[in-house]
A and B are shown apart, each in its own frame.
Chain A
Amino acid sequence: MMRPVKTYYPILPVIISYGVLFGIGIMVPGKWQLVSQLAFYCALGQAFNLFMGMTGYVDFGYVAFMGVGTYGMAVSIYYLYDKGLGLGLIVIGLILAAVFSTLLSLAVGAVALRLRGAYFAIATIGVNEGFRFLIEGARIWNGADGMIFYRHLKTAFGKQTAMALSTMWADVMVFGVAVLAAVLTLIYMRNKVGYALTALREDEDAAKVMGINVTKYKLTAFITSAILAGLLGASAWALKLTYVYPEDVFEIHYTVEAIIIVLLGGAGTLLGPLVGGLIYGVSKYYLSIVLPGFQLLIFAPIIIAIIVLFPEGTVGIFKKRIFGTPLEKYII
């Protein structure tokens, strides 16, 4: 007998939500900027949740994967713009972003994933800083001067297309990353990977004794999450802004935002990062107008309050409420 909960239905609310969000952005004039920002937060949450939510490990250096992903796209456009590759340039950029973030996640994972809890956090907290200073210190890819490549993009695609790429298609790609992250999360949840991750999140020693190769599954989640971050950086930062500075793309505040989003929505749930991303994005937007400069000051205590009082997050609480109702099979 198949249990209804083991289906792929829960992807529906996610797809519908992104569809509606996208629709609002297209239909309502002047809202695209806000909508794309919200999509960015949702994608960030979805990607981060795939590792933090599923394994219970906090990667404080997570933004480093977005940073190297940004550089992947930047390097492709900056150095290959005159090779006549057409849209291949963007494809290569995305591939490079994935490759860079995979390599970095392998390097970091090789050290950090052997370690537990606090030691893992200690090992990861310097990754973004470390990488930033490697780029600046060894003057890789122009070092601290960064790369500015709108001109290159224009030469490669012409003014109109370059404009469309950075103002429209970059944001569409962010939506793509968000959906991809959600789909991957659900696929993981429905397969052995997901059960292995649940087990090791709850009790790593017991998981080992159950025959679970914890390192393998942790690494799987870590690399997947890193690649998604790389793609997000490549689209939301490199392609959209058409410049990259090491001090911007390795900024730890993006890790903080990812943590807030995941916790707000509910760590380890599928819908959580989406809900968290929307709540965070909208409140931040609102606060930036009402109380500019106070956003982090307001959100940091919220993290603490959630951890102490509502560790399940919004979706986690909602899930409990709908247990046993027909809604149950759509929300995880």
Chain B
Amino acid sequence: MILEQLSGNLVHGLVLGAVYGMATMGLSLIFGVLQVVNVGHGAFIMVGAYTSLMMFKAMGLPPVVAIPVAMFIGMALGMLFYYGAVKPLVSPSGSGIRKPGMKGFGIAAGSFVALMVIMRPVSLVFHLHFAISLFVGIIFLYGFLLYIYGGRRQEKAPELTTLLVTFSLGVILEEVVKQIFTSEARGFNWDIGKLDLGITVLPYTKIVASLGSLGIAVLLYLWFRKTRAGMAMRSVVEDDVGARVCGVNVDWQFALSFSLGIGLTVTSGVLLTMFIPVGINPYMGGPYTLKAFVIAVLGGLASPYGAFFGGVVFGLVENGSYTLFANIPGLEPFAMTRFFSFVMLLVILLVRPTGLLRAK
């Protein structure tokens, strides 16, 4: 009985694992090239899930069609965020822009006051609070304008700052999506039949998602191995100084990898909705961030292929452990599985930190 259950679940785990793997490749790619851990990873998966949902609901298009769209949206988002927030922190040549002086500050203050006048504070009691939030708002807009009109030249920033920035980018995405779609969980139903394997029944959607993930992974592999652009990116992973000496435009490779990494991540959100087409909400990404970290660490963090295989392993372990927990009375198997993935992360980090750090 339990064995039957287990083998059935393992099949699901294998199929889901491929999708997990694909969902982590972007994280590994960005870490490999930029040495940045995208702490907001899950939020980008969420964007993909909404892309898939919207195309299905609004246009009646199946998620398969959403894949290239998500890739495009993701790469565009990646470029936007890279030049908007990440570049000044990681770019080997610094941001190299000028300080705008009082003019920028004036524009910032002015536009914020204008914004607040439109919003119209509720009553006079809030004047003090208004003044303080004005101050905060000015910092924000001033910062934003510094990007546009220039800012000071920066040394390469410490890791801490990139973590906080990617984390904030994730929060921004979540909040924007919440404003647009509310925080209500949504879902859709794309039914194209089921495949009966004897030990378990697999919907074709899951098989498509799994094969799609595998296909994208193979394409990425070929792109890295066979094309000039891919090789240039690989050279940056190996040694960014060396790559620059050999005439590779490292700045552009950073932008491209970040964009590609985000594109892959958003695309994986579409694939995940083929697997689990329900529970789509702005904060759905959190658990995936954690899972992606476990998987990336399993696969050596800087290697997209390692991540793919890590994903398959993780899918098997997750579904296997679910079966186990479901058979222990007094446990909530779903919650325990998520606890287990956290323990797994700690254990891997504990027993193989040297092996992981060697991956650079």
Chain A, range 90-120, C-beta contacts under 8 Å to B? 108, 110-112, 114-115, 117-119
Q: Kindly state the interface size class of chain B when it binds its partner.
A: 35 or more
* Bound complex: CA A180 to CA B161 (Å): 28
* Bound complex: CA A289 to CA B124 (Å): 13
Q: Are B140 and A133 in contact (CB under 8 A)?
A: no
CB-nearest residue of chain B relative to A123?
B349
* Bound complex: CA A289 to CA B146 (Å): 29
Contacts of A26 in B (CB 8 A): none
Q: Are B133 and A111 in contact (CB under 8 A)?
A: no
Q: Are B163 and A121 in contact (CB under 8 A)?
A: yes
Report the minimum CB–CB distance from B331 to chain A (whole Å): 6
Report the minimum CB–CB distance from A211 to chain B (whole Å): 23
Other-chain residue from B126, B132, B167, B333 in contact with A60 (beta carbon distance below 8 A): B167
Q: Are A282 and B133 in contact (CB under 8 A)?
A: yes
Q: Are A143 and B179 in contact (CB under 8 A)?
A: no
Q: Are B339 and A125 in contact (CB under 8 A)?
A: no
Instruction: From A168-176, A225-233, A293-301, give the one contacting chain B.
Output: A293-301
A303 within 8 A of B: yes
Q: Are A133 and B336 in contact (CB under 8 A)?
A: yes
Number of A-B contacts (CB under 8 A): 196
Q: Are B342 and A127 in contact (CB under 8 A)?
A: yes
Contact with B along A56-83 (1 / 0, CB 8 A): 1110100000000000000000000000
B350 within 8 A of A: yes
CB-nearest residue of chain A relative to B161?
A307
Chain A interface secondary structure, helix, strand, loop or mixed? helix
B144 within 8 A of A: yes
Report the minimum CB–CB distance from B83 to chain A (whole Å): 12
Most A CB contacts (10 A, CB to CB) among B157, B158, B161 go to B161
Q: Are B139 and A306 in contact (CB under 8 A)?
A: yes
A328 within 8 A of B: no
Report the minimum CB–CB distance from A225 to chain B (whole Å): 16
B251 within 8 A of A: no
Q: Are B140 and A126 in contact (CB under 8 A)?
A: no
CB-nearest residue of chain B relative to A310?
B139
Other-chain residue from A60, A111, A139 in contact with B330 (beta carbon distance below 8 A): A139
Q: Are B119 and A290 in contact (CB under 8 A)?
A: yes
Contacts of B178 in A (CB 8 A): 293, 297
Contacts of B20 in A (CB 8 A): none
CB-nearest residue of chain A relative to B135?
A279
What are 6 A-B interface contacts by the 8 Å CB criterion?
A119-B353, A121-B39, A291-B119, A297-B179, A300-B175, A304-B85
